[in-house]
Amino acid sequence: MKQKLLLISTFLLIAWCAAGQVADRLGVSLGTSYASQKWQYRHIPNDMENDYKVGLQAFVFAEKDLAEMMSLRTGLGYIQKGFKDEFTFTFPDGSVADVRNDKVVLHNLALDLGVKIHPFISMHLPYLVLGGRADYLLSYKDAVIVEPESGMKINVYEPALEKFNKFNVSALVGVGIKFNDFLFFELEYNPGLTRNFKSEGLTVRDQCWGAKLGVYLK
């Protein structure tokens, strides 16, 4: 994991320096992700709709003007996805598992590519962001339960998580408000277009919302 983070940091630094040569604006953003997943079983009538969990997202980005009211935006960053499952697990002897962690966290490297559209001239009126996001799964943290008698810890979703696709693509639809020449706020919807996992009996797909505050540095 440390080697991955070092390589990612180096790549981000190189990309940041390269973007600065051609971009009209550079900036950083920090915010939250509100993520879940839909686990769709083919042989079970009811799909598993997991609860949403709050995570972190942080990006560096560059913008290049295409027209007076339109610009191209690219971004590189880190985003947490996954889900929360408030489950109750009962063992064959009737004992109920102790839930140590009810959240599955996916640590993703993300690449954004989209178009920023200003339908209004006024700075404080909303603008739109339309595009896509490519996620690369770096690592995950599983939900954990404990067997009361033995104290044995069990990773709940590990068999499926180990087979998750490393690379996934999602849509990116956002609306934002620019407060001044330096500061903006955005809300985004980020539904999965590809499946995180697919087998004969199960498919898994991301669902994610986000909110972030950004600052222009150039």
Domains of the chain: 2-216 (2.40.160.20)
> What is the arithmetic mean of pLDDT over 115-126?
82
> Which whole number is the average pLDDT over 82-87?
85
Q: Does residue 112 have a pLDDT over 80? A: yes
| Pairwise CA distance, residues 172 & 116, whole Å | 11
Average pLDDT in the 105-113 region? 94
3-state helix, strand, coil in the chain (%, to 5): 10, 60, 30
Cβ(213)–Cβ(56) below 8 Å: no
pLDDT at 141: 94
Is the pLDDT reported for residue 180 higher than 90?
Answer: no
pTM, whole model, 2 decimals?
0.85
Q: What is the mean pLDDT of residues 50-58?
A: 92
Average pLDDT over residues 77-91: 85
Question: Please, which pLDDT band fits residue 7 given cuts at 50, 70 and 90?
Answer: low
